[in-house]
Structure 1
Amino acid sequence: MFNEFKTFIARGNVMDLAVGVIVGGAFGLIVNSLVNDIIMPIVGAFGGLDFSNYFLPLSSKVTATTLAAAREQGPVIAYGNFISVILNFLILAWVIFLMVKAVNTMRESLEKKPETKAEAAPPPADIQLLTEIRDLLKTRAS
């Protein structure tokens, strides 16, 4: 049983999956940082929109103006946070799409090899001779 497990783990696709998960996790951190630290501040600067403190109180006890303080006072529906998460997802998906598209374009350009038309080499002398004999026999038979 141990040998079967060792064979299973040593398969290429299992190792590829493990590497993919690790690299994917690191890539996710890079893309999250790109979205949160670079793109969202630019969007916020131009749009001036900050949805993080938009909430709907579910109790009359909630009188706070910030989400953190409102959560301490009672139950709230934090729809602003939900909107922020959706926007982050859409921006993240767009950035990943652009990155994958760029990589695919680069890969296609590297894989394209200029097609050189090689001129057909002349047939060997014996084939040329046989072809001439065939053509002569055709003309005599006609």
Structure 2
Amino acid sequence: MGFATEFKEFAVKGNVMDLAVGVIIGAAFGKIVDSVVNDLIMPLVSKVTGGLDFSNYFIPLAGQTSTVLADAKKAGAVFAYGNFITVAINFIILAFIIFLMVKQINKLKRNTPPPVAPPAPTPEDVMLLREIRDSLKK
């Protein structure tokens, strides 16, 4: 078996295709969840905390005097602990949203009855015995 044939078999197997679809859907879903966190939830958190924005909290390591993180990074190294706090809060919110979604999906799965298998066809010998029984009753 040649290398090209072997690769073709690997690439068209169901597992690889399922994985590719999963990665693509996961990336698209990640963008949706990221938008929910950044555009819907974080503004509410900011409102509740009085407009507190952790992303500009940093310690300048190169003697910068700027109060904006982007400008301080241009001037030299910074210890951007506020950005880490923001990312950590985003992760916690994201994990909570995913938890709620998985919980709902599991609840829906439990509420749906399992598919009922169609009854197995009656064996031929049983059918013949029934015919004999019915003819004897007459």
Name the TM-score, length of structure 2 as normaliser.
0.74
For 1:5 and 1:73, the matched residues in 2 are separated by 50
Partner of 1:3: 5
Q: How does 1:39-118 map to 2 (within 5 A)?
A: 39-48=41-50, 49-60=52-63, 62-111=64-113
Residues 1:23 and 2:25 aligned together: yes
One-letter code aligned to 1:106: L
Partner of 2:121: none
Name the TM-score, length of structure 1 as normaliser.
0.72
Partner of 2:120: none
User: Once structures 1 and 2 are overlaid, which stretch shifts more, 87-96 or 4-13?
Assistant: 4-13
Question: Structure 1: where are the runs of 5+ without partners?
Answer: 114-123, 125-142
Runs of 4+ off more than 4 Å: none
C-alpha displacement at 1:107, in angstroms?
A: 1.6
Deviations 1:52-95 (A, max 9, x none): 110101133x1111112222333211110111011111111111
C-alpha displacement at 1:112, in angstroms?
A: 5.0
Give the count of matched residue pairs: 113
User: Once structures 1 and 2 are overlaid, which stretch shifts more, 80-89 or 1-10?
Assistant: 1-10
For 1:4 and 1:73, the matched residues in 2 are separated by 53
Question: Structure 2: where are the runs of 5+ without partners?
Answer: 116-129, 131-138
Q: How does 1:113-128 map to 2 (within 5 A)?
A: none
Deviations 1:82-129 (A, max 9, x none): 11011111111111111111111112211357xxxxxxxxxx9xxxxx
SS in structure 2 at match of 1:7: helix
Name the larger-Rg structure.
1
Instruction: Give the percent of matched residue pairs that are identical in Structure 1 and Structure 2.
Output: 58
Let me know the Cα RMSD of the aligned residues: 1.8
For 1:111 and 1:17, the matched residues in 2 are separated by 29
